[in-house]
Structure 1
Amino acid sequence: MDREAFRDMCRAFAQREIGPRWQQADADKQFPRDFYVAAARAGLIGITAPEEIGGAGLGTYEEAIAMEEMAKVNPNLAVSVLIQNVAGSILYEHGTEVHREMARRNIAGECLVAITVTEPEAGNDIQNVRTRATRDGDDWVLDGIKSFITLGGEADILVTLAQTDPAAGRHGMRFFAVDRHGKGVDASQIDTYVNRPAPTYRVMFNQARVPDARRLDAGFAAIMAGFNRERIMVAARWLGHMQTALDWARDYATTRHQFGRPIGANQSIAFSLAQAHVDVEAARQLTYHAAERWDSGIPIEQVILDVSTAKLHATQAVVRVTQTALHVAGGWGLTSELPAMRWALDALVAPVTVGSVEIQQRAIARQLGLPVE
């Protein structure tokens, strides 16, 4: 299947499976698990996973296409697929056959997963994760609190980063595939204005026992590599979101009349939409350039500049573009009768997830050879 045919398939899937679901799921503040099953049946879970475990064996470029097309309809159901692909890759790339079987079930739509890394005092500062895993015979005992975990209450498996050797710092971390339904694991939903209907949770581990067979030989390095790939998907997610906002605002500006003419005839409106177009097209070029570079197989260290540039621009641009759409909507934009306010609210999470704006700026500055601390 060529890329344009793949894009057409993803667009049709999004319109068929996301369009009818997201508004009711959003109102209920509940993730529609049947959407995950539908995505798996469509081959959108495990896009880059090897075919021998049920994956599509495609590249990051195709994964970005899928993310963009799904996010055009709703960025929050789209992110649920992103999480499956990132968490699943940790399982099959760094795990044993036990973990690969979990990945197979995830790709087949039988096992929802979530990434459990962020903590109250360790958001961008991943190397200071405090959740402890203590060896006890053939088990590990986990204690700690994770925060802002998307799908943390719906997932079957929590791919959890914990400190196994505090003296070793970031080198003493390992991932564990934790049974979310097991004893000592509790998830409570955090009420957020954004990211619905992919709910956010606080996950608490209180003497949660995890068999050693569920420990992965992966830790800090794996999550940082995963984050860099995820940042390309984040850029694609917000690219899709801002494209929808721009398309709507442009159409609204040609049909809404004031003072006897379309509001788009006013330079203030027309020029703001022209700038929004530049933001969207720049995000598109940067995102797919980063995806192509990632797929080329060159060392990750040589792709960080491209990844961080794409992520930084897209996550700042989506705020500008959705604010432009809100402005074009005028007073009606503040009501639920138009979609502009919701788009603007959803975009506010973009600059702070998977490495904040400042983290991306720091990464870019370092790649430029600047001695920033």
Structure 2
Amino acid sequence: MSQKTDRAKPSNEVDRVAFRDMCKAFADHEIRPRWEKADADKQFPMDFYRAAARAGLIGITATEEVGGAALGAYEEAIALEELAKANPNLAVSVLVQNVAGSILYEYGDAHHREIARRNIAGECLVAITITEPEAGNDIQNVSTSATRDGDEWVLDGIKSFITLGGDADILVTLAQTDPKAGRHGMRFFAIDRNTPGVQTSQIDTYVNRPAPTYRVMFNQARVPASCMLNAGFAEIMAGFNRERIMVAARWLGHMQTALEWGLEYARTRRQFGRAIGSNQSIAFALAQAHLDIEAARRLTYYAAERWDSGVPLQDVILDISTAKLHCTQAVVRVTQTVLHVAGGWGLTSELPAMRWALDALVAPVTVGSVEIQQRAIAKQLGLPVE
């Protein structure tokens, strides 16, 4: 979440190979055996969170002071890519922990850093609570209010599409503390989900089901003044940029798994006496999917390298938005191609193609929509877009 330039230094190439192998082994052992049941039940498996913590995948970029690995964005992208190859939705639960946790340890006091330490240790699940029904991409118009009353803050408002909002122990919540100050009057609060006046309800979605999505409602929810962190609009916008690299890595992993399956299916499925992959229409579509993935890989890791290099944030925005825009559009194209290759059977639960295609549909609207990324790119190119 930080705008600081003292970002974690990247490790060497040998370390990254070993780290990728570890992440792949973790995904094979901890995600592949459990994601389908979690998806069907629409419940987050807490044992997965604890396993990820034991493996050191929670707090990858966090400081050693709070139990983190102090690695860079490059390593975090490796982890998200490998986990997403097994399932993009359990992978995103790790991303949420790293984003919310970073707000706690970078902008909080000793109490908040202790929450971050417990989160990294697998003892305290956190969720980041920002999006609202009328303020999705329009973060500066968040309307959830926090009003000071003596030694407490009183929160009122509704948040929507909050990943793990009903499962988390702590809700890292953005609220308006000074309406007259607009976006400069916002602050984050670390709120116990069991606080009176806090309610959650699960939103039934076709996607993200192993990492459920919730509404979070604050109705005169009173929290101690010490819950407020020294972070607001500027910090969340800076943090969104690192998160967008991880979103790109998430979908990079997802589309790779889909394409690998589609290629094997095209080689073995026979129609009219030959493999369907011998038809140019199918072969060329899969070749284009390969191009999408290779471009996604290069854009994602270039953006991660640039972030880790410590150059000013403003100089990295073009690389980040380009990677995020491409990956979130490419994953839809790739999974739709694989669904088409699967034919009629792709529409059944007997093949995985429809599940992959459905999960990919959320990609273009997460952490800044397609239009938001296009606007960011246009502005970085010097175009006077409003």
The question of 1:176 aligning with 2:225 is answered no
Residues 82-132 of structure 1 show CA distances to partners (whole Å, capped at 9, x for unaligned) of: 000000001101111111000000000000000000001100000000000
In the alignment, which of 145, 157, 164 is matched to residue 158 of structure 2? 145
Q: Give the equivalent residue in structure 2 for 1:58.
A: 71
SS at match of 1:83: helix
Name the amino acid aligned to 1:295. D
Q: Give the equivalent residue in structure 1 for 2:7.
A: none
Q: Give the equivalent residue in structure 1 for 2:6.
A: none
Name the amino acid aligned to 2:375. R
Name the amino acid aligned to 2:247. V
CA distance in 2, matches of 1:259, 1:329: 16
In the alignment, which of 282, 292, 302 is matched to residue 315 of structure 2? 302
The question of 1:236 aligning with 2:231 is answered no
Q: Give the equivalent residue in structure 2 for 1:9.
A: 22
1:342-357 matched pairs, under 5 angstroms: 342-357=355-370
The question of 1:293 aligning with 2:306 is answered yes
Name the amino acid aligned to 1:258. Q
Name the amino acid aligned to 1:147. S
Task: Give, in angstroms, the shift of residue 226 of structure 1.
Answer: 1.1
CA distance in 1, matches of 2:323, 2:29: 29
In the alignment, which of 257, 280, 293 is matched to residue 270 of structure 2? 257
Name the amino acid aligned to 2:17. E
CA distance in 1, matches of 2:246, 2:229: 24
Residues 24-82 of structure 1 show CA distances to partners (whole Å, capped at 9, x for unaligned) of: 11111100011000000000000000112100110000000000000000000000000
Task: Give, in angstroms, the shift of residue 291 of structure 1.
Answer: 0.3
Task: Give, in angstroms, the shift of residue 253 of structure 1.
Answer: 0.4
1:153-192 matched pairs, under 5 angstroms: 153-192=166-205
Name the amino acid aligned to 1:103. A
In the alignment, which of 302, 307, 315 is matched to residue 328 of structure 2? 315
Q: Give the equivalent residue in structure 2 for 1:266.
A: 279
1:34-49 matched pairs, under 5 angstroms: 34-49=47-62
Name the amino acid aligned to 1:355. G
In the alignment, which of 14, 20, 30 is matched to residue 43 of structure 2? 30
CA distance in 2, matches of 1:209, 1:293: 42
Task: Give, in angstroms, the shift of residue 214 of structure 1.
Answer: 1.1
Count of residues paired in the alignment: 373
Q: Give the equivalent residue in structure 1 for 2:149.
A: 136
Residues 130-169 of structure 1 show CA distances to partners (whole Å, capped at 9, x for unaligned) of: 0000001111000000000000000000000000000000
CA distance in 1, matches of 2:16, 2:262: 28
CA distance in 2, matches of 1:229, 1:119: 21
Residues 204-224 of structure 1 show CA distances to partners (whole Å, capped at 9, x for unaligned) of: 000111111110011001111
CA distance in 1, matches of 2:54, 2:265: 36
Name the amino acid aligned to 1:110. E
CA distance in 1, matches of 2:327, 2:43: 27
Task: Give, in angstroms, the shift of residue 246 of structure 1.
Answer: 0.5
For structure 1, which runs of at least 5 residues remain unmatched after alignment?
A: none
Name the amino acid aligned to 2:273. G
CA distance in 2, matches of 1:307, 1:196: 27
CA distance in 2, matches of 1:214, 1:102: 11
In the alignment, which of 76, 94, 99 is matched to residue 86 of structure 1? 99
CA distance in 1, matches of 2:223, 2:317: 34
In the alignment, which of 239, 250, 255 is matched to residue 226 of structure 1? 239
Name the amino acid aligned to 2:241. N
In the alignment, which of 273, 281, 297 is matched to residue 284 of structure 1? 297
Name the amino acid aligned to 1:41. R
In the alignment, which of 352, 374, 380 is matched to residue 339 of structure 1? 352
The question of 1:71 aligning with 2:84 is answered yes
CA distance in 1, matches of 2:244, 2:284: 30
TM superposition score normalised by structure 2: 0.96
SS at match of 2:44: coil
The question of 1:95 aligning with 2:108 is answered yes
Give aligned-pair identity as a percent.
Answer: 83
CA distance in 1, matches of 2:168, 2:142: 21
SS at match of 1:2: helix
TM superposition score normalised by structure 1: 0.99
SS at match of 1:147: strand
CA distance in 2, matches of 1:199, 1:58: 28
CA distance in 2, matches of 1:303, 1:96: 29
CA distance in 2, matches of 1:286, 1:35: 30
SS at match of 2:283: helix
Task: Give, in angstroms, the shift of residue 359 of structure 1.
Answer: 0.2
In the alignment, which of 205, 224, 230 is matched to residue 217 of structure 1? 230
The question of 1:372 aligning with 2:385 is answered yes
SS at match of 2:285: helix
1:188-199 matched pairs, under 5 angstroms: 188-199=201-212
CA distance in 2, matches of 1:349, 1:311: 13
Cα RMSD of the aligned pairs, angstroms, is 0.6
Task: Give, in angstroms, the shift of residue 259 of structure 1.
Answer: 1.1
Task: Give, in angstroms, the shift of residue 299 of structure 1.
Answer: 1.2
CA distance in 2, matches of 1:282, 1:100: 38
Task: Give, in angstroms, the shift of residue 260 of structure 1.
Answer: 1.1
